[in-house]
Structure 1
Amino acid sequence: MVERSRFILLAFVAVLLTSLESAKILTIGLIGGSHYLLFDEISHVLHESGHDVNMLVQIGTPRIKGLSYTGRNNSYRITPWSASDEYLYNYNKWFLEQQTLFLQGRETLSGYLDFIGHLALQCEWILGDIDLMNSLTGEHFDIAVIDAFNPCTFLVAEKLSLQFVAVHSGNFWNGNQIGLPSPPSYVPVYRSLLTDRMDFWGRLKNSMMFLSSFVVEGMIQARFERAIKARFPAGSEPSLSELYRRAELIMYNTDFSIEFPRPLLPNVVYIGGLLSKPAKPVSQELEDFILAAGESGFVVVTLGSMLSSVNMLAVLREMNTAFSQLPQVVIWRHVHHHWPSDVRPAPNVKLVDWLPQNDLLGHPKARLLVTHGGHNSLMEAVYHGVPVIGIPLFGDQFDNMVRVEAKGLGVTIQVNQLHARGFSQAMATVIGDKRYKASTLALSRVHRSHPFPPGQRLVRWVDHIVQLGGGEHLRAFGLQLPWYQEYLIDVILFLLATISLATYIVTKVLRIAVGCLRRGGKVKEA
């Protein structure tokens, strides 16, 4: 009886300790596509570790359809928010037009700024939704975990007076924005298309783009000025530049199996590979299709969750013709009702509205991934050791593919240069050349051999911040310095002034001395 009472007491203490370690966490993901997939996984992992997680989700964006959306079963809670039906109709119509431009190789800075403008407008509405803000405030969250790609998530956390962990969905493209040491001599700037091994002209290009990146960032932040002024009290409007550096912890969805080595700060960690899992068996239908190819294996084709269909006939025809020339079978994610009726899919091609990408890449007969170059897809390819052909379309996908080529993981084909013959030859080369497979397996070993898997890193670091009430002990003091002190502009100007003054004094003294000597010589001659 005593032993039983002791056991009950110990069990009660264990439950009590577990409940004390549990935290109320708000995750904020206001964009669909791969950003939603990442934050869905983050929210689920934190929930599975014992935390009470609520995710603020914007309904109506690509990948998240309708107010009936409820998230994962038996997992984290969601708080949905949606713009008006009229706005969503116009926004999604505009986004479809942008997709068409991407497929023509016509991504532009103005188009990107227009997209940021949409995010800013949505942000103004979210911050102005009093019922939403009061509901979230009433939850009394301990901390927020936010999608750092969208500046609005910083403003929501600030509006709710929450400490936050900022998660960046891809590579270290904005290191200088958050105060990371980013020497232009070997840290490539976003969209520079450079590796970490630059010649003189590469360093010159990178330096010029490093300076211009501050101008572009200013243009992005300017889009949010109206929302900030409208939704925060006069005199206490937050600055996005300051909020970016105020994160208790900064996480990047990458790791150094695919990223170039670079300096990090103590409050910056990487959790790349959250979506990569041991493969589960695929459906019998897909398995039968794969078996029909024998030892040739199969190719996985997907251009990401935002572009689940190639809606340009010319590009689709070239891809379809190229696939028809392969001995492998092809599993291609393409929404059936978007497929043109006058194009017959190649005999070795199977079209699917959705595919289990992780499980297919983990299949022993997977030979190649044809991808847009999104970070989640590339991390899954690395995890399972599958080479890639990349067709980058927008954003960081171009830089991602530079890293893919530098690491020997695969090759890049620009969408406006995609022709059936060259595409088919590229796929045959990557599949047939054993060096690509060997490089990919080497990267997989690097990725998998990390002391802790990505999910553990996520949970342990968030727990660390929650338990200590913040990450001040990790934040470098330099993040609080004004820019002219951070980059030693005041010191450089002082040294230049000192050297100039010393040079002036020495020159003046020498002139006087020379003048005296000349006058003395004339007196002696007289």
Structure 2
Amino acid sequence: MAVKKGHAVLLVVLLQFPFLQAAKILTICFIGGSHYLLMDEISRILHNNGHEVRMFLQYAHSMLPGRPPQQSPYPVSSYSLGEEYIQKYREIFIANQKDFLSGRSDYKNFLNFMTELSYQCNITLHQSEIFSFLKEEKYDLAIIDAFNPCSFLVVEKLGIPFIAFCPGLFINAGRVGIPGPLSYVPEYKSSLTDRMDFFGRLKNTLAFMVSSVIEMKMDALFDQVIDEHFPAGSRPTIADLHLKPELWIYNVDFSIEFSRPLLPNVQWIGGLLTKPAKPVTPELEDFIAESGESGFIVVTLGSMISSLPVEEFLKEMNDGFAKMPQKVIWRYDRSDWPEELNVAHNVRLVDWLSQNDLLGHPKARLLVTHGGLNSLMEAVYHGVPVLGIPLFGDQSENVVRIEAKNMGIFIPPEQMKAEKFANTMRKIIENSRYKMSAMKQSAILRSRPFPPDRQLLGWVEHIIQSGGGGHLRPYSYQLPWYQHWLLDVILFLSICVTVIVYLIVNVIRVLIYLMFSNRKQKQN
């Protein structure tokens, strides 16, 4: 019996399906800390669901200071920047921390950081042995950390279709083509919410202009790297590469972020690192038990910051904790604690802590955090209020959103004083509205139709099975900038209006001339 045409097509698809389910995927990560934690989680999810995964990793000893080493279930191709440069970079990072803690964080610090990333990128693109190996592997798809522009250059060099994963908010929305009406979508570094008055909208418009200039300066830092590693005539630009991914995935959730318009090729799957809590160690459980009904406070200022380089700031925090009835579990490198400063009686210092498990403990009362998005997502997941101390990057924007959602308060680091710190912690813990808001956001996050790991897997496999994300990308990506912003239409209409006004004015002038001319003839 002959097979119908429709059945034949279905048979072909089904025959291909097992192959597509076991794709070869390369993940790319060149930054440590929370960036590595997210890319590692993505790699594990894909590996555990049958895909052949390898990570291209820039390794450094300070990627996750204090964290016990863990065995990777997937293979890793790694390289090091060299001990001499790593030490130099660590000194730069510490100097930047001092600026952040003193309230001197600005765009200059950010551009200096990007300058270091461009230098590192040059070293990365010289890893010819790894590049040759990865090209021979013929990967079906790559997933890159889109924060680092070098990731785009590496995947372009390898010639692999890719998904861009952004570890934070929609900070690059404009260059991705995501609509961002300035009347209610706050720009990066504006510290605004979605509810703006006139001056807020004015500030947001100015922030948009400044961001556009900063983006151009940031891209220019990689021009020399591009010139060295790509042949003339086929040199990409960072801006063009932002339009090339098959899909954009953002590590954000609208339990934190403000509502805004998105495109079909933009998906959000915030909360990859959130998990049901596991029991904490017996040692910590005994310490927590001593707190009674007061409970305890979790303190961590980021996966890459194990100690604070400004002793005065550290002293104010420590003195603030001493005024609290709660126990405090603080991730801090004990070997870096100043000898002349006594640790507060209710504080336990630990080199590393399982933040997710501690926040899920029934006696957790507050998270004191730098405002990293992963930390905030875990606080939302477990319904724990937050006190934010934003240090750098998108952290100030993250804590603005937490405060706007009424689940916490933030203190700029330059305003850190023990009395103010203690009073703010008491206010958050004792005022039930912060806990109620945190539980509300937790319900929003937990009640999504699909958990983030299933969303990630589903979208990655959709891109593989559909042969790319061309059907999701808007045609605006192919339009010249003047057509995208309708400048040609505006120019045409302006000319038409000008011509019409010119004709009307001249007709009126002729009529007036004729009217006065006839009047003079009658008078004569």
**Please, what TM-score do these two structures have when normalized by structure 1?**
0.95
Other structure's SS at 2:189 match: coil
Other structure's SS at 1:472 match: coil
Q: Partners in 2 of 1:48 and 1:418 — Cα distance?
A: 44
Matches of residues 213-292 of structure 1 in structure 2 within 5 Å? 213-292=211-290
Q: Deviations over 1:341-388 (max 9, x none)?
A: 111111110000001100000000000000000000000000000000
Matches of residues 459-478 of structure 1 in structure 2 within 5 Å? 459-478=457-476
Other structure's SS at 1:373 match: coil
Q: Which moved more, 1:72-81 or 1:100-109?
A: 72-81
Q: CA deviation at 1:493?
A: 1.8
Are 1:40 and 2:40 an aligned pair? yes
Q: CA deviation at 1:62?
A: 3.2
Other structure's SS at 1:363 match: coil
CA contact (8 A) 2:369 2:387 kept: yes
Are 1:367 and 2:357 an aligned pair? no
Other structure's SS at 2:471 match: helix
Which residue does the alignment assign to 1:435? 433
Aligned residue among 496, 519, 523 for 1:521: 519
User: Which one-letter code corresponds to 2:170 in the other structure?
Assistant: F
Q: CA deviation at 1:278?
A: 0.1
Matches of residues 291-306 of structure 1 in structure 2 within 5 Å? 291-306=289-304
Other structure's SS at 1:473 match: coil
User: Which one-letter code corresponds to 2:286 in the other structure?
Assistant: D
Q: CA deviation at 1:185?
A: 0.7
Matches of residues 348-367 of structure 1 in structure 2 within 5 Å? 348-367=346-365
Matches of residues 72-151 of structure 1 in structure 2 within 5 Å? 72-73=70-71, 75-151=73-149
Other structure's SS at 1:474 match: coil
Task: Show structure 1 runs of 5+ residues with no match.
Answer: 1-13
Matches of residues 377-416 of structure 1 in structure 2 within 5 Å? 377-416=375-414
Q: CA deviation at 1:15?
A: 12
CA contact (8 A) 2:20 2:464 kept: no
Which residue does the alignment assign to 2:186? 188
Q: Partners in 1 of 2:157 and 2:341 — Cα distance?
A: 52
Q: Flag the 1:70–1:42 CA change in 2: closer, same or farther, 3 A.
A: farther
- What number of residue pairs does the alignment pair up? 511
Q: Partners in 2 of 1:322 and 1:135 — Cα distance?
A: 54
Percent sequence identity is: 51
Aligned residue among 170, 183, 197 for 1:199: 197
Are 1:502 and 2:500 an aligned pair? yes
Q: Deviations over 1:408-445 (max 9, x none)?
A: 11001011101000100000000000000000000000
Q: Partners in 2 of 1:147 and 1:20 — Cα distance?
A: 23
Q: Deviations over 1:303-338 (max 9, x none)?
A: 001212122110111111110111100000100000
Task: Show structure 2 runs of 5+ residues with no match.
Answer: 1-13
Q: CA deviation at 1:211?
A: 2.0
Which residue does the alignment assign to 1:5? none
Q: CA deviation at 1:471?
A: 0.3
Q: Partners in 2 of 1:308 and 1:85 — Cα distance?
A: 19
Aligned residue among 159, 162, 165 for 1:161: 159
Q: CA deviation at 1:70?
A: 12
Q: Partners in 2 of 1:362 and 1:18 — Cα distance?
A: 39
Which residue does the alignment assign to 2:4? none
**Please, what TM-score do these two structures have when normalized by structure 2?**
0.95
Q: CA deviation at 1:520?
A: 0.9
Q: Partners in 2 of 1:282 and 1:71 — Cα distance?
A: 18
CA contact (8 A) 1:301 1:369 kept: yes
Q: Partners in 1 of 2:54 and 2:237 — Cα distance?
A: 26
Are 1:50 and 2:50 an aligned pair? yes
User: Which one-letter code corresponds to 1:59 in the other structure?
Assistant: Y
Are 1:309 and 2:307 an aligned pair? yes
CA contact (8 A) 1:383 1:448 kept: yes
- Structural RMSD (CA): 1.8
Q: Flag the 1:16–1:262 CA change in 2: closer, same or farther, 3 A.
A: closer
Q: Deviations over 1:464-523 (max 9, x none)?
A: 001112000000001221221111122112212211121111111111111111101111
Q: CA deviation at 1:452?
A: 0.3
CA contact (8 A) 2:169 2:257 kept: yes
Q: Flag the 1:180–1:221 CA change in 2: closer, same or farther, 3 A.
A: same
User: Which one-letter code corresponds to 2:415 in the other structure?
Assistant: Q
Q: CA deviation at 1:212?
A: 2.2
Q: Partners in 1 of 2:20 and 2:187 — Cα distance?
A: 43
Q: CA deviation at 1:45?
A: 0.8
Q: Flag the 1:428–1:226 CA change in 2: closer, same or farther, 3 A.
A: same
CA contact (8 A) 2:302 2:372 kept: yes
User: Which one-letter code corresponds to 2:432 in the other structure?
Assistant: K
User: Which one-letter code corresponds to 1:414 in the other structure?
Assistant: P
Q: Partners in 2 of 1:494 and 1:207 — Cα distance?
A: 26
Q: Partners in 1 of 2:303 and 2:343 — Cα distance?
A: 21
Q: CA deviation at 1:130?
A: 1.4
